[in-house]
Amino acid sequence: MARACSDARSCPFDDCDRVSPVENGLCRATRGLHATMSTLQSKVRPPEDRMKKSLVALIIACAAWLPPAAQGQIANVRLYGNLNLDFELVSGKQPDDRNPTVNRVSSNSSRFGLRGTEYLGRGQVAIFQIESSINGDTNAGNLGGRETFVGLQGDWGTLKLGRFLTPYDDILPIFGNAPTLTTSILSTAAVWAQGPLSKVQGGFDARLGNSLRYETPPLGGFLGELQYSSRDSSGNADGADNGDHTSELRHANVVSIGAFYNKGPLDLGIAYERNNNVRFANAGDDALSIAGAYDFGTIAGAVGLRVGAVYERLRYDTPTGDLKRDFWGFSATVPVGGGSIYAFWGHAANGKGGAVDGTAIGGLTKGADSACDQWELSYSYPLSLRTLIYAGYVRLNNRANAGYGFNINDYSTAAGARPTGYVVGMAHFF
């Protein structure tokens, strides 16, 4: 329960337990002025009433002036970001049947951002963030193209408007590995959620503009999230993930909902996402994903172990019927030598449903020999609290009719290819 100020008459804020350091200083300063005024009043002799009144007026004027002055200072604004670059050796069969090994320098989800908060009183906080992508290997970038929003936060939860990933994406960290789950070709969203695809292509791991999102406050480890994206053309610079005029005329929208539990060694999540009229009129695509992880801590031989698992069902509408696919995967993280070894295996089953054989959306194809396995093994080592290095191996074993590829920094291949990559990289966070 919030604790009231020790002297409500002299405190300009409603809840001293929730104020910033600047506001706390203001509270103390104002109480100090009040105490000084009381002391002076007790010591001033009656013949000096005129001086006393002048001094009291001055103190009151100072106290009245302090809150507006502090309002401009209690906004907490900071810069942040990361640079994550690697050197890669990648290969995969091309349409002409060649399979050369290509070396690349890649920038992986590097970003630069500005975020801040402002205390509004009564436990309410205004929040904002402007996050831009930076390609450290080239001069490309996108101002405000990543997690960018404005919103309100309080005991009731968080409400924000802008451009951000959906609750469906919050399943990924449960079975992924923090240093490598979203970095480069090591991303575990290559097959899961059809991560390489934009929303209009049928992906379920896209960052959506024109979005409204609500998050509950943590309730004993539980957290609920709901997001709605209107897919309209207002201020549109990216029709693939934000929407366009054609989409808004057919009332296209995306609804994503997630429920999560994180307490102690246990981490659980379930998420559902629905794309209404997004790829074409009357198309209703949806995805359901369930994931869990358990950290066993130190076990036999003083070795730590965290295991994770995920299941996903994708379903698409097509002109000839529905197209469905199941996916499941398992992961393990083991601390070794001051760093962490991460291993992952995921399997996408053959495409099925009422659609005719050969119907394809992204890497998913209806019919036999359309399955895919993803293998990954990586090691990350922190050089400091803000800098880490990593190395890894990843391989996608597409069957003859499957066409899955890397998530971040895609490498084009032919159907049935087996994209393979070796990575050595470094990331710095600030």
Average pLDDT, the chain: 82
Instruction: Examine residue 214 and state whether it is found in any structural domain, yes or no.
Output: yes
Q: What pLDDT shows up at residue 43?
A: 41
Q: Are residues 84 and 50 in the same domain?
A: no
Percent of the chain whose predicted confidence (pLDDT) is above 90: 59
Percent of the chain whose predicted confidence (pLDDT) is above 70: 76
Yes or no: say if 284 and 272 are a contact pair by the CB < 8 Å rule: no
Q: How many CB atoms lie within 10 A of CB 95?
A: 10
Q: Are residues 194 and 224 in the same domain?
A: yes
Rounded Cα distance between 341 and 51, Å, is: 75
Rounded Cα distance between 59 and 113, Å, is: 42
Q: Are residues 17 and 98 in the same domain?
A: no
Tens digit of pLDDT for each residue in 270-325?
Answer: 999 999 999 988 889 999 999 999 999 866 565 789 999 999 999 999 999 999 99
Instruction: Examine residue 153 and state whether it is found in any structural domain, yes or no.
Output: no
Inter-CA distances, 134 with 81, 144, 306, Å: 10, 11, 32
Q: Are residues 220 and 244 in the same domain?
A: yes
Instruction: Please state the domain count of the chain.
Output: 2
Yes or no: say if 321 and 284 are a contact pair by the CB < 8 Å rule: no
Instruction: Please report, for the domain that includes residue 300, its CATH number.
Output: 2.40.160.10
Instruction: Examine residue 139 and state whether it is found in any structural domain, yes or no.
Output: no
Q: Show which of 46, 71, 96 is a domain's final residue.
A: 71
Residues 6+ apart with CB under 8 A from 386: 428, 429, 430
Q: Are residues 394 and 424 in the same domain?
A: yes
Q: Are residues 95 and 233 in the same domain?
A: yes
Question: Model pTM?
Answer: 0.79
Tens digit of pLDDT for each residue in 111-167?
Answer: 999 999 999 999 999 999 999 988 877 767 778 889 999 999 999 999 999 999 999
| Tokens 């960018």 sit on residue | 148
Which residue range(s) make up the domain with 43?
8-71
Q: What pLDDT shows up at residue 89?
A: 95
Instruction: Examine residue 145 and state whether it is found in any structural domain, yes or no.
Output: no
Rounded Cα distance between 169 and 407, Å, is: 13
Tens digit of pLDDT for each residue in 366-417?
Answer: 999 999 999 999 999 999 999 999 999 999 999 999 999 998 888 888 888 9
Q: What pLDDT shows up at residue 415?
A: 87
Q: Are residues 66 and 82 in the same domain?
A: no
Rounded Cα distance between 301 and 269, Å, is: 31
Rounded Cα distance between 409 and 84, Å, is: 13
Q: pLDDT band for position 247 (50/70/90)? A: confident
Q: Are residues 179 and 102 in the same domain?
A: yes
Instruction: Examine residue 363 and state whether it is found in any structural domain, yes or no.
Output: yes
Instruction: Examine residue 269 and state whether it is found in any structural domain, yes or no.
Output: yes
Q: What pLDDT shows up at residue 78?
A: 94
User: How far out from the chain centre does Cα 140 lie?
Assistant: 22
